[in-house]
């Protein structure tokens, strides 16, 4: 969970993300206006820098027309997995901006499996790769 008293500054290097303030609907409008082909699939590559009191994090992201975000590279602001706020901030921002829960690329997961599994277990990131590896997380009934 993102601590609301902490300030986080998110900056993208892609002009489309900047123009649309990172909002999916704005990005989609720009992308479909520039390439007006029905059902056109698109993908943007951007670097996201998260600046906070915890330090500076840098993430390479691929953003897709189906609202998916893949993390392809990650330089954390903190080395400690339990005090790392970067991914929580990314996940909260993404969902607020109309994107899906971010997904680390399988190659990235393989470099630090326990780190990514921790954030997957918390629901901060999503991953088909981890679902296959650890069996799909069981859904909890609201009645339980």
Mean pLDDT value across residues 1-25: 83
Burial of residue 17, with CB atoms counted within 10 A of its CB: 0-12 exposed, 13-18 middle, 19 or more buried = buried
Q: How confident is the prediction for the chain on average, in pLDDT?
A: 88
| Structural domain spans, the chain | 8-134
Residue among 59, 136, 128 at smallest CA distance from 91: 59
Q: How high is the pLDDT of residue 119?
A: 94
**E strand or H helix at 61, and its extent?**
strand 55-64
DSSP H stretches of helix in 35-97? 86-96
Q: How high is the pLDDT of residue 7?
A: 84
What are the pLDDT digits (tens) for 17-65? 999 999 999 999 999 887 666 677 899 999 999 998 888 999 999 999 9
Q: Which residue has the higher pLDDT, 142 or 17?
A: 17
Q: How high is the pLDDT of residue 1?
A: 41
Q: How high is the pLDDT of residue 141?
A: 45
């Amino acid at each position: 969970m993102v601590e609301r008293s902490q300030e986080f500054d998110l900056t993208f290097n892609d002009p489309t993300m900047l123009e649309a303030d990172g909002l999916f609907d704005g990005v989609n409008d720009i992308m479909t206006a520039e390439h007006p082909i029905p059902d056109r699939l698109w993908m943007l590559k951007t670097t996201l820098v998260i600046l906070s009191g915890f330090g500076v994090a840098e993430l390479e992201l691929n953003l897709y027309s189906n609202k998916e975000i893949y993390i392809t590279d990650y330089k954390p602001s903190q080395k400690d997995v339990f005090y790392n706020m970067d991914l929580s901030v990314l996940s909260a921002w993404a969902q607020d901006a109309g994107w899906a829960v971010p997904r680390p690329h399988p190659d990235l997961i393989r470099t630090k499996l326990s780190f990514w599994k921790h954030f997957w277990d918390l629901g901060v990131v999503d991953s088909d790769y981890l679902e296959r590896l650890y069996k799909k997380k069981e859904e909890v009934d609201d009645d339980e």
